[in-house]
Structure 1
Amino acid sequence: MERPDESLIIDADLRQQLEYQRNRTRGVGMFEFEVRELIAAQEARHAEKARWESSLDAMTPMQKRRAIVREVIESDGPSPSNLRYMHSSLAICGLPYKRLPEGEYEFERKQGRMAVVVEAGKLRAPDGSRVQQPVPYGPKPRLILAHLSTEAIRNRSATIDVAETLTAFMRELGFEKRGGERGNIKPFKEQLQALAACRMEISAWDGKRSATIDAKPFKGIELWMSDNPDQKSLWPSTVTFSQEFYQSLKDHALPIDVRALHAFANSARKLDLLFWLNYRLHSMKTQLVLDWKPLQMQFGDGFARERAFRAQMADDIEHIKSVFPKLPVKLTERGLILENADPEVLSIPKRLPKK
């Protein structure tokens, strides 16, 4: 019988097994049998990879992105290195999903006994004029805040070095930097400017007492940089959180897996739903049931009809569960049911690093 070709064994773990079998004190025949077994295992992996790639080819770009993220998460598991952070109040009461109508410069969202009010502001342009900014909206300000909040938590500083880190973060989420009117730099920059100009009021109450943080997220930021991706000044060199926002962030930072941000980076509603489910899993002790009416108040921006909103929520839950299949959430005629579970179902490690 022809000797098996050891070069067909490629994967590192299988090569390790090959060397282990080589060093065992047994006969040549038994070693060659083990080599053939390892070659068969390698061929099975190649076949599985081919099936996987074929299934990806049949998917839409967003389906493919979610499938790849799920595969990576299941392969690598939860890790502190993959954690990013978001202020828990913004995880519960998010920003608007779409640009507010012309002339509207205030947005409020309530959830339970917590509320966030965001007021648009103005920025000074290079020519000295003050330019009205919109209320931050869509997925991009959520992603920007997650990045800046993470840098602040990691470095224990209200001042964040942005110039290099934000470009790297965009790339990590699948946004390659492109300038021009239709590039992705301009919309990110517009939302960064909207965040720099806005004022946020974060409130909580319990029937007897109430507390409010009223602050601009950023104390200082230099804006109006170039949109040309070939220039280094794409972003400000630094951004400084206001002391009020920074202190509140340190006290109420919610961990998020960056791979989940990548999976849903194009949908503000899915990001909000993911943040909210994450927050609930960290805080709840028993089953949570939420009726359709409060669900629509929180996640139903743009939906006048409950039937249309229910259909959208069903799609959003299905997409999130396609990445996190162990997430114990379902929709019923009454509303949403979330069973108590460890945040590991969203790839959050049990033991978080000290902040």
Structure 2
Amino acid sequence: MAENKDTKSYKRIMQLVENSMAIEAEAAKEAGAVGYMARALVQATMPHSKPTETSFVRENGAFSMAIMAHPKVGLPYGSVPRLLVAYLTTEAVRTKSREIELGDSLSAFMAELGEVPTGGRRGSITRVKEQTRRLFASNIACTYTADDMDAGVNLAVADSYELWWNPKNPEQGTVFSSFVKLGERFFEEVTQNPVPVDLRALQALKKSPMALDTYCWLTYRMSYLSKPTVIPWAALQMQFGAEFGRIQDFKKGFLKHLKAVLLM
């Protein structure tokens, strides 16, 4: 049976990705820009835009991830929590410690995320502080369900955290350093199964949470893929863009972001 146009296009894209990832991995290593991302949040992703509910579910085949929020805090969403998870995972792998220092000032921490401090209700200071709080107050439940197996694990992102930041004066240092103590099982997940990424690519793609998800997912898949694999658009939509009403809209958006990723 002849391959259809979508399948040929997919195989061509995957070959391009495989070649560019090999080059990129070596370049990132030489530049000291190798970072890591949590595998569970690559297989299934966080919300792209602000949710109205306090729980969020993503599915990837037999794997399912649910994020539960504190009802007075809300769910993390957008690019900032993705950059934050990459930062935390990279630091956990580097230091082998559950306790991660977040700097003496808000501006110092924001610099680690590649963010420039700007004030106001819609500024980066408000956004980073809010999304950090949302992520640290979240709990993640991962399940794997098949005909002959049912397994799961619950991951608390943070056991505890203290944020000694002054939004009105982000440059101001504090007597106490801000920190987060990662949940034990979350720490085990991110250190035992980290996904290597190029931190420069994350910075280049940070304006789009879907582009960040696509880059991390492709990096992860290409690390173990042994042959071309066709993935139905419906499955990709469940993993990356379940909030799209129509699969045609998701396909259009995904391909747009995929082109940006392939330029990395």
Provide the TM-score with structure 1 as the length reference.
0.62
SS class of match (1:288): coil
- Among residues 146, 156, 181, which one is paired with 1:240 in the alignment? 181
Query: Following the alignment from structure 1 to structure 2, what is the Cα–Cα distance between the partners of residues 182 and 207?
Result: 47
Letter of the aligned partner of 1:264 in structure 2?
A: L
Query: Following the alignment from structure 2 to structure 1, what is the Cα–Cα distance between the partners of residues 108 and 197?
Result: 18
Query: Following the alignment from structure 1 to structure 2, what is the Cα–Cα distance between the partners of residues 298 and 240?
Result: 29
> What does the per-residue CA deviation read over 1:110-129, in whole Å, with 9 as the maximum and x for residues that have no partner?
1012111100115xxxxxxx
> Does the C-alpha gap of structure 1 residues 224 and 165 become closer, same or farther in structure 2, counting only changes over 3 Å?
closer
> What does the per-residue CA deviation read over 1:22-71, in whole Å, with 9 as the maximum and x for residues that have no partner?
xxxxxxxxxxxxxxxxxxxxxxxxxxxxxxxxxxxxxxxxxxxxxxxx9x
Q: Partner residue of 1:93? A: 44
1:189 Cα offset (Å): 0.8
> Does the C-alpha gap of structure 1 residues 224 and 161 become closer, same or farther in structure 2, counting only changes over 3 Å?
closer
1:177 aligns with 2:131: no
> Does the C-alpha gap of structure 1 residues 164 and 203 become closer, same or farther in structure 2, counting only changes over 3 Å?
farther
> Does the C-alpha gap of structure 1 residues 169 and 278 become closer, same or farther in structure 2, counting only changes over 3 Å?
farther
Query: Following the alignment from structure 2 to structure 1, what is the Cα–Cα distance between the partners of residues 250 and 230?
Result: 18
Letter of the aligned partner of 2:62 in structure 1?
A: R
Structure 1 residues not aligned, in runs of 5+ = 1-69, 123-131, 324-355
Q: Partner residue of 1:217? A: 157
> Does the C-alpha gap of structure 1 residues 171 and 280 become closer, same or farther in structure 2, counting only changes over 3 Å?
same
Structure whose alpha-carbon radius of gyration is higher? 1
- Among residues 262, 267, 276, which one is paired with 2:203 in the alignment? 262
> Does the C-alpha gap of structure 1 residues 163 and 311 become closer, same or farther in structure 2, counting only changes over 3 Å?
same
> What does the per-residue CA deviation read over 1:70-118, in whole Å, with 9 as the maximum and x for residues that have no partner?
9xx88x92316211111111111010111112xx111010101211110
Whether the 8 Å contact between 2:84 and 2:113 is mirrored in structure 1 is no
> Does the C-alpha gap of structure 1 residues 156 and 219 become closer, same or farther in structure 2, counting only changes over 3 Å?
same
Query: Following the alignment from structure 1 to structure 2, what is the Cα–Cα distance between the partners of residues 223 and 115?
Result: 31
1:167 Cα offset (Å): 4.5
1:170 Cα offset (Å): 3.7
Whether the 8 Å contact between 1:274 and 1:320 is mirrored in structure 2 is yes
Q: Partner residue of 2:63? A: 114
Write out aligned runs for 1:1-355 (5 A): 77-79=27-29, 81-101=32-52, 104-121=53-70, 132-164=72-104, 167-168=107-108, 170-171=110-111, 174-223=114-163, 225-228=165-168, 229-233=170-174, 237-323=178-264
Q: Which has the higher contact order (CA 8 A, sep 6+)?
A: 2
Query: Following the alignment from structure 1 to structure 2, what is the Cα–Cα distance between the partners of residues 230 and 155?
Result: 25
1:210 Cα offset (Å): 3.0
1:208 Cα offset (Å): 2.1
> Does the C-alpha gap of structure 1 residues 145 and 165 become closer, same or farther in structure 2, counting only changes over 3 Å?
farther
Query: Following the alignment from structure 2 to structure 1, what is the Cα–Cα distance between the partners of residues 105 and 229?
Result: 38
Query: Following the alignment from structure 2 to structure 1, what is the Cα–Cα distance between the partners of residues 59 and 243?
Result: 16
Whether the 8 Å contact between 1:173 and 1:265 is mirrored in structure 2 is no
SS class of match (2:28): coil
1:299 Cα offset (Å): 1.9
Query: Following the alignment from structure 2 to structure 1, what is the Cα–Cα distance between the partners of residues 162 and 211?
Result: 31
Pairs aligned (count): 240
Letter of the aligned partner of 1:230 in structure 2?
A: E
SS class of match (1:226): coil
